[in-house]
Amino acid sequence: MLEAGQRRETLVLLPGTLGTVEVFYKQLLKFSQTCRVVVLGYPGASNPEAMTASFRELLKELDIDKAHFVGSSLGGYWLQVFLRGDTARVKSLVLGNTFLDPARLRFIRMFSPAFLAENEPDAVKDAWLGFVQALPNPELKDFMLEAAGARQSAAELDGRSRTIAFANRIAPLDLPPDRITLIWCEDDKVIHAETWKELVSAYPDARKVQLSTGGHYPHLLMADDYNDEIQYRVNCRHGQAG
């Protein structure tokens, strides 16, 4: 967990499969001057009931009653699970490069149930490191090699991969659409256009932000645009959540 800032508004951020808490460092640097910023890691597990209970207990321990929530990829998927039935605490929700149905990501070898059945965690981690080595953006590649290589264990990467390999499709949250922002990049090689369209169909009246570039990591590669969307949400005031 990373935490900084002591202001009235609270941001809670969850990274994706390869992301450690440091993946949101550009958001931490910007918003810790005006908000309390909490970046949460989570284990590689796929039991939604246990994960939800742990998430809510952690928010209680951190004395977080209401917050703006930001989730990237698998982090966005989990936020839609964790906040189900608990939307009163949601001031706003930013879902970046994420999905409803994990099956749509299983074209990636490391998310394939067959691949995971045949390989031990060390081999899964090696496969992810090969994936990262092939990333075209030098900044992203260097950052993710450190995150996946040095900061995440093989067991953690294997567990997060298995989440996507075996988790079920979820229904959208019952949350007022004026509290939701959806973000996607046209050059995202993980979240394809059909996956984005499915998310948009589930939240048809949400704020939609479609970037021409940024890949699967606009919070790193297009941080100014990403931060502008978070700032928009922090600046909004919504009835009971204001």
Q: What is the pLDDT of residues 86-110, one digit of tens each?
A: 999 999 999 999 999 999 999 999 9
**200: CATH:** 3.40.50.1820
Considering the domain boundaries, does residue 69 fall inside one?
A: yes
pLDDT number for residue 29: 96
- β strands within the chain, DSSP E: 2-4, 10-14, 36-39, 67-72, 90-96, 180-185, 207-211
pLDDT band at 7 (very low <50, low <70, confident <90, very high): confident
Q: Would you say residue 239 has pLDDT above 50? A: no
What residue ranges in 22-142 does DSSP mark as E strands? 36-39, 67-72, 90-96
Mean pLDDT of 209-234: 97
Q: Is 135 part of any domain?
A: no
> What was the pLDDT predicted at 237?
57
Confirm whether pTM is higher than 0.85: yes
Residue 232 lies in a domain: yes
**Lowest-pLDDT range, 47-51, 79-83, 116-120, 168-172?**
47-51
In the numeric block, the tokens 């394809």 are attached to 192
In a domain, 30, yes or no: yes
Under the banding of pLDDT at 50, 70 and 90, the label for residue 242 is very low
Asked whether residue 128 is assigned to any structural domain, the reply reads no
Question: How far is it, in rounded angstroms, from Cα 238 to Cα 179?
Answer: 8
The answer to whether residues 10 and 36 touch, using CB atoms and an 8 Å cutoff, is yes
The tally of domains found in the chain comes to 1
The mean pLDDT value for 47-57 works out to: 91
- Asked if residue 220 is part of any domain, the answer here is yes
Decide if 141 is inside a domain: no
d(CA 19, CA 44): 12
Share of the chain above pLDDT 70, in %: 97
Residue 137 belongs to some domain of the structure: no
Average pLDDT, rounded, for the chain? 94
Nearest to 229 by CA among 207, 214, 212, 213: 207
> Domain containing 37: what range?
2-105+171-241
